[in-house]
Amino acid sequence: MIVVTGGAGFIGSNLVRGLNRRGHTDILVVDDLTEGDKFINLVDNQIADYLHKDEFRQRLAQSQFGNIEAVLHQGACSDTTERDGRYMLDNNYRVTLELFEYCQEHKIPLLYASSAAVYGAGPVYIESAVYESPLNVYGYSKFLFDQVLRRHLDTLTAPVVGLRYFNVYGPNEQHKSRMASVAFHNMRQFQAEGHVRLFGGWDGYADGGQLRDFIYVDDVVDVNLFFLDHPEKSGIFNCGTGRAQPFNDVASTVVNTLRLQHNKPALSLKELVEQQLIRYVSFPDDLKGRYQSHTEANLSELRAAGYDRPLRDVQAGVAAYTTMLFEQGRI
């Protein structure tokens, strides 16, 4: 049995689908469906069982599981604006620590979701404590467990891999509301209002020019499965494309992809702005000093570990994602 925590969520459900493609169906999904909308992410997936996260945690503490092959731990509060440190550290740090201790005791491989939020404002994104300075308690909750892994790397009884996700986008994120990707919000906004709004210039960046490392969820799944296939490898690895692209690229790709669906020609960024298909709003005061204006994963460690597959850029990934949702009638 493979356990996927957060398995009804965005990345988790895509991991379940990736495992299904390999023929794995003996999968225990752990999640919280109190707000049940996420169920839709599992409808097309094959799983063996579902447990609420609290019941799973209780049963784990009592060592009631005997046949776990691996744990893909994606469950967490990913709201970077959440200020409740007690909740965040219990939900993100403490649960991960408990899983780590269980997996080490029972010699079970553990892959867990870390985050590029550990780097704070950057500007260097290399897997080293020298460059880590989270800006919020979410980032700190991920940072804190990464330090636990580092202390135990030389004495592990089973492989442990932490993947620092950068800005992930793709199918099954519709339930994430304001925490959904920029691409998803751009699509919904354009379909509803006929234009896309981006933050204006700040922190030395032009309008819509803030840069992020945007990675398609299918690439994230492939990286996870690579490490599942290589139990000899442990450590903390960036999971991005190694390519920083401006928000303007995302918005332009969304708008032009949707225009093409209606047999309208693609336009340059200048033309999109002139026709007010992309508009800029003042950068929010409450985000100043708490916002990553430029993220770009250094992939040296990932490539050194042997992961050599190409990673989609925004133009390819966002276009494919937008086309898929449009054809499914979901935007």
Active site amino acids: 138, 176
Cα gap 185→171, rounded to integer Å: 13
Cα gap 80→94, rounded to integer Å: 18
Q: Give me the sheet containing 27-31, strands edge to edge.
A: 49-52, 27-31, 2-5, 70-73, 110-115, 160-165, 235-239
In which residue are the tokens 């086309």 written? 323
Cβ-proximal residues to 101 (8 Å cutoff; 6+ apart), any chain? none
Between the alpha carbon of residue 162 and those of residues 1, 82, 143, 197, 227, the distances in Å are: 21, 22, 11, 34, 10
Cis peptide bond upstream of 123, omega within 30: yes
For residue 27, what are the β-bridge partners? 2
Residue 75 half-sphere exposure toward CB, CA atoms < 13 A: 29
